[in-house]
Amino acid sequence: MGNLLEWNGENGRTYFYQSEYPYDVDTDYADAGFASYKVGDNVSTHEAWGVGVYSFFKDHTVDMESGIKAPSNEGVKFHNSLSVLLNGSGSIKHIINE
């Protein structure tokens, strides 16, 4: 199990991406640094609208660092992104990066 979606191409566009982290993972999943939506480190242009990342960690307290991970540059843009803890224990500490 790893990132739920990983985008490594240039000029990508995403409209309305919604996903939930797996419900039955343990704390090792968060420690591995996975994200729900990951844009590759070498990507210079990518744009996304309406990216939502949800969590319901039912068995363990899982604290994910970020729902979205992407390079920090002018060509990579996110609009109206969010994260939501639906239920359970744990958190998504940051919507995007740190």
Q: Which residues are catalytic?
A: 20
- Give the residue extent of every domain in the chain: 5-96
pLDDT of residue 1: 66
One digit per residue, the tens of pLDDT, for the chain of length 98 reads 689 999 999 999 999 999 999 999 998 999 999 999 999 999 999 999 999 999 999 999 999 999 999 999 999 999 999 999 999 999 999 999 98
- Cβ within 8 Å of residue 36, ≥6 positions away: 3, 4, 5, 19, 21, 53, 67, 68
pLDDT of residue 97: 96
